[in-house]
Amino acid sequence: MQPFEPACLATGIGSLPHQSADEACELIFANFRSIPFWPQLPRRSPSENMYAQFATGLPGLHEENGKLIIDTSSGFEEAMAAFYERYLEAQHEGFVLDSERAQGFFAFIDMFKEPRPKKNGFRPTALKGHVTGPISFGLSVQEPDGKPVLYNDLAMDAIAKNISMIARWQEDTLATLGLPTIMFYDEPFMATYGSAFFNYGADLVAHYLEVATEGVKSLTGVHCCGNTDWNLILDSHASIISFDAHGYAGKILLYSDALGEFLQRGGVMAVGIVPAQWEAVKDETAESLFTKLDSFLGSLEQRGIPRDIAAARTLITPSCGLGPQTVPAAGAIIEMTSALSRLCRERFGLAGKEKI
pLDDT digits (tens, 9 = 90+) for 265-311: 999 999 999 999 999 999 999 999 999 999 999 999 999 999 999 99
Residue 355 — pLDDT band, cuts 50, 70, 90? very high
User: At residue 226, does pLDDT exceed 60?
Assistant: yes
Mean pLDDT of the chain: 92
Question: Poorest-confidence range of 21-35, 74-88, 332-346?
Answer: 74-88
Domain edges within the chain: 21-347
For 41-72, what is each residue's pLDDT tens digit? 999 998 899 999 999 889 888 888 878 999 98
Q: Which residues contact 124 (CB under 8 A, 6 or more apart)?
A: 33, 34, 35, 36, 112, 179
The CATH number assigned to the domain with range 21-347 reads: 3.20.20
**Residue 77's pLDDT band (cuts 50, 70, 90):** confident
182-207 pLDDT, tens digit per residue, is 999 999 998 888 776 778 888 899 99
Return the pLDDT at 200: 82
pLDDT given at position 35: 97
pLDDT tens sequence across 141-159: 999 988 999 999 999 999 9
pLDDT at 111: 93
Does position 5 have pLDDT exceeding 90, yes or no?
yes
Query: Can you state the angle between helices 286-302 and 327-347, rounded to 10 degrees?
Result: 50
- Residue 86 or 337, more confident: 337
